[in-house]
Amino acid sequence: MTRTTHQPTDQEPAGLDNRAARPAGRRPAPTRKRQDRPDPVLRVRDLVVRHSASTGAELTAVDGIDLEVRAGETLGLVGESGCGKSSLANAVLRLIPTAGGSICFDGTELVGRSPAQMRDIRRDLQVVFQDPRSSLDPRMRLGAIVTEALRLHGLNNRRERRRIALQRLAEVGIDPALAHRRPAQLSGGQQQRVALARALVTQPRLVVLDEPVSALDVSVQAQVINLLQDMQRTYGTAYLFIAHNLAVVRHLSHRVAVMYLGKIVEQAPAHNLFRRPVHPYTKALIASVLPPRPDARARLEAVRRLAPGEVPSLAAVPSGCRYHTRCPFADTTCKAVEPTLVRIEGDHAGGHRVACHHWERVQAAAPQVQAR
């Protein structure tokens, strides 16, 4: 896939000045000088999320995570199944309680806000889940599904909402003539397009996308990904994008955070992360899924050996570095001392960060994954 989106840089974050097309009554974003660094749309600090396991014990699915997403930017979030990605996403959306930390959205602290106080926030903070069948109300017609958020927030009159619904459906590639249909009368790909139109209709500042294309076949996946990019270009929306398919994450994300057992272990601009992964876990994750260059097959096998064995349970997180039980570089320090996420490149939040005591040794000893 070829990246078509404009890449935000320190000097010029994408999509800051294209929000004039927000529905009537919205305040246009202030114009910024090019050199200004905008505040992040989302700033998460030391976030903790706990669940009660079936045994009655507690598990910490999100264990003190910091992250930021800026306007017009896509932050990809990857990691093995069960590492806590959806728990993080649902906490940001305030769909589940947090046990600690801060979630600052557009300058507003979300932790501690009541559901009623969250209502106004929700038009700027939307979500698309994996399965449109369960997220779309089967009784509603597509037009009403798309405009429901506008109606709930008292935006636009009925006629105008209808016009916006037809326009949004057309934008996501659904024939407006189908607006009277119900979700069951659409294919899965069409349903996910409707879910996207619904999420984007209020021109939100941030959309949380939790495996939005995982249930779709490959050709439809590509269409939805392109659509997400088009929408981001048009409206400057930021995305927190969760997916298992690393090729898709690489294609869509400006920066990527790698999660392991409730912690971020590496975070970097997407290009750096996939070209020069530093953490042994990231190397193994990338090596296990991306096609290597033909000259790198032998090295790839070596990298695969970096992550042997099963993922430990969140209910019994290993001491020290939680990756030490699978890491061939682990020593006594790793078993005893939890590494912090330190910056190894770049001079700001968008730089390359890794949580590994021995990242320099790993770099010297382990081959680079040169994914195509």
- Given ligand ATP, Mg ion, none, residue 314, with its beta carbon under 5 to 8 Å by kind, binds ligand ATP
The torsion angles phi and psi of 371, rounded to 5 degrees, stand at -70, 145
Candidate list 74, 86, 192, 272; residue touching ligand ATP; CB under 6 A: 86
Which of 78-86, 144-152, 339-347, 360-368 is the region at the interface with ligand ATP (rule: CB under 6 A)? 78-86
- As a whole number of angstroms, the distance between CA 258 and CA 256 comes to 7
Decide: 267 and 47 in contact? Cβ < 8 Å: no
Shortest distance (Å) from residue 96 CB to Mg ion: 12
Question: In the complex with Mg ion, which residue's Cβ is closer, 85 or 193?
Answer: 85
Tokens of 4: 């078509």
Instruction: Please report whether residue 85 would count as binding ligand ATP according to CB under 6 A.
Output: yes
- Closest to 145 in 3D by CA, of 122, 173, 168, 121: 168
Instruction: Please report whether residue 253 would count as binding Mg ion according to CB under 5 A.
Output: no
Q: At residue 271, what is the residue type?
A: H
Burial group, residue 171, by CB count within 10 angstroms (0-12, 13-18, 19+): middle
Decide: 371 and 274 in contact? Cβ < 8 Å: yes
* Partners of residue 45 on adjacent β-strands: 102
The β-bridge relationship of strands 255-260 and 342-345 is: unpaired
Candidate list 23, 64, 82, 100; residue touching ligand ATP; CB under 6 A: 82
- Given ligand ATP, Mg ion, none, residue 98, with its beta carbon under 5 to 8 Å by kind, binds none
Three-class SS state of 132:
helix
Which of 65-73, 81-89, 226-234, 292-300 is the region at the interface with ligand ATP (rule: CB under 6 A)? 81-89
Instruction: Please report whether residue 81 would count as binding ligand ATP according to CB under 6 A.
Output: yes
Candidate list 87, 126, 221, 237; residue touching ligand ATP; CB under 6 A: 87
Binding mask 279-318 for ligand ATP (x = CB under 6 A): -----------------------------------x----
CA distances for 303 relative to 19, 93, 325, 359, angstroms? 44, 36, 16, 14
Binding mask 53-72 for ligand ATP (x = CB under 6 A): ------x-x-----------
Candidate list 86, 190, 191, 221; residue touching Mg ion; CB under 5 A: 86
- As a whole number of angstroms, the distance between CA 325 and CA 334 comes to 9
Q: At residue 41, what is the residue type?
A: V
Candidate list 13, 40, 72, 84; residue touching ligand ATP; CB under 6 A: 84
Shortest distance (Å) from residue 87 CB to ligand ATP: 3
- As a whole number of angstroms, the distance between CA 237 and CA 204 comes to 6
- Provide the binding-site residues for Mg ion, judged by CB under 5 A: 86
- Provide the binding-site residues for ligand ATP, judged by CB under 6 A: 51-52, 59, 61, 79, 81-87, 314
